[in-house]
Structure 1
Amino acid sequence: MRPWGTDLLRESSDKVKVIQQKLLAAQSRQKEYVNRKVRDLALMVREKVLLKVSPMKGVMRFGKKGKHRPRFIGPFEILRRVGEVAYELALPPGLSGVHPVFHVSMLKKYHSDGSYTIQWVSVLFDQNLSFREKPMPSWIGRFRS
């Protein structure tokens, strides 16, 4: 026998409540996962930061492979804060094609030890902060041990 009228309405509302409870549980679980990864990075105006760069896939970065390749360029000075999570940087004329406002995830605080950075002058970047470096010839790798 099929439910009619109020029975159908009651079953439907019960199912909707169960679905809402499961959605809330899933949302809170996802929020926990995100909050584990969030880092509070409070930057001040006039502070120096490094800017994350991304290479084109399959191309060596500055003659180094693997985890030892440089990932940041800089340092650049913060001119102002734009909204909650964006900062405007003082970019040099060589990077005039790049928009000066960056999300906080693209920035890293600069510490005076610059061994893990490269100077932006030596590389040409496009508007997406991607770069292309000439790959090393295969015959050079044979002579390295």
Structure 2
Amino acid sequence: MLTAQSKHKSYADVRRKDLEFDVEDMVFLKVVPMKGVLRFEKKGKLSPLHDVFHVSMLRKYVADPTHVVDFEPLQINENLSYEEQPVEILAREVKMLHNRGIALVKVIWRNHEVEEATWEREEDMRAQYPEVFED
């Protein structure tokens, strides 16, 4: 029995490592939903974030200048929403629907990546944002 236990321990120890963090070290915190069914309180609020975590929930962060995110300040409305502004039209396409062509344009929005470009109706875009079509 001891032989089997020591064998399993040696296999487990290969993957295991001691983690040590200093004060002010940058770390990633693993925040995934817990398994099982959880119910919100009657008010529908989430529980506040706890400020003490087990070390197994932390991963050391290695500084990388490519992780810095450029951003432009947003004008926030009183209801905590903001107005989307188109930056550029990437493509134009006509979709046929019941023998009728619908013109679509692929739009890049400010503060969004190219991968997040959306297809919008050209008619609506021309009415709402005519400055994008001026070339």
Using the size of structure 2 for normalisation, the TM-score is 0.35
Instruction: Give the structure, 1 or 2, with the largest relative contact order (CA under 8 Å, sep 6 or more).
Output: 1
User: Larger helix proportion, structure 1 or 2?
Assistant: 1
TM value normalised by structure 1: 0.33
